[in-house]
């Protein structure tokens, strides 16, 4: 079964601090995604990746960086965290290979609070 693991589950950070959210998938999927979920906004795409070494900007990339050092791992980095980045962050992997629909497999989420 598809497995996407996020860490940490909960994180409290201070304004201006650096935060790294980690995601690991054992699905051997090429595509990985970072979303944030906020009340009234649903899920919004921050960054995504086609495979190891690639990162692409999503719809709301400002204030975030991403890193995909391997097929399995995809990190989201907040270099200078701000209170507006308080949210629940979801990582997902996708099985799209062209010619069919991509199902996304989500991790359990990371609740980030920036004070």
Pairing of strands 75-78, 87-94: unpaired
Residues contacting residue 34 through CB under 8 Å, at least 6 positions apart: 21, 23, 45, 46, 47, 48, 58, 64, 66, 74, 76, 89, 90, 91
The verdict on 104 binding another protein (CB under 8 A) reads yes
* 48 lines the binding site for another protein (CB under 8 A): yes
Three-state DSSP state, 81: coil
**Of these, 22, 65, 86, 102, which contacts another protein (CB under 8 A)?**
102
Encoding tokens for residue 22? 């980690």
- Which region, judged by CB under 8 A, interacts with another protein, from 16-24, 40-48, 67-75, 76-84? 40-48
Rank residues 17 and 53 by Cβ distance to another protein and give the closer one. 53
Residues that bind another protein (CB under 8 A): 31, 35, 40-45, 48, 50, 56, 58-59, 90, 94, 96, 98, 101-104, 106-109
């Amino acid at each position: 079964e598809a497995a996407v693991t996020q860490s940490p589950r909960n994180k409290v950070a201070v304004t201006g601090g650096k935060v790294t959210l980690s995601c690991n998938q054992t699905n051997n999927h090429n595509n990985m995604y970072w979303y944030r979920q906020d009340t009234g906004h649903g899920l919004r795409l921050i960054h995504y990746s086609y495979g190891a070494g690639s990162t692409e900007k999503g719809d709301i990339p400002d204030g975030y960086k991403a890193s995909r050092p391997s097929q399995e791992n995809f990190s989201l980095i907040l270099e200078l965290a701000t209170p507006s980045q308080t949210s629940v962050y979801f990582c997902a992997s996708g099985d799209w290979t062209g010619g069919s629909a991509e199902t996304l497999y989500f991790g359990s989420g990371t609740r980030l609070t920036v004070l």
